[in-house]
Amino acid sequence: MIDAQPLWEYPSITCSQAFTLLTFDLTESITPLSCNETVTTVGNPNGVSLWMEWIHETADGQDSLISTGPSTPSSKVIPGLSLQWDRNWKQGVYFFQHNTEEPTTNEVRWGASFSPRDGTIKFSFTKV
């Protein structure tokens, strides 16, 4: 389950670089999307933070970014360092089940799928 949380209220240490789950090109017809990837992590993450970024292309080639995520650009998220969140948004958070054992590897496997028929996005996250 993804839970909406105001992450700026909590201290955060990043365990991986930011990564893209799904990309929607709103200038094209919306089609079903799905992907699965594995991300290398630093330490033992207790959850995954989700946010949306809208990139608006302008005629002069200067892109405009609106983000509900960190107050710094996603490209500047550095594993092992603290992260400040934008106070004007809530972020989605998936919490891993509490586990006192260290994972056998420092990886998280994730999947996402979008159905344009009913507008649902399904997520899966697993420590491996």
Q: What is the pLDDT of residue 37?
A: 94
pLDDT surpasses 70 at 62: yes
Domain ranges for the chain: 2-127
Q: What is the pLDDT of residues 67-115, one digit of tens each?
A: 999 998 888 899 999 999 999 999 999 999 876 666 667 899 999 999 9
Q: Which pLDDT belongs to residue 102? A: 66
pLDDT number for residue 14:
93
In angstroms, rounded to a whole number, what is the distance separating the alpha carbons of residues 52 and 67?
Answer: 6
User: 2-127: which CATH architecture?
Assistant: Distorted Sandwich (2.70)
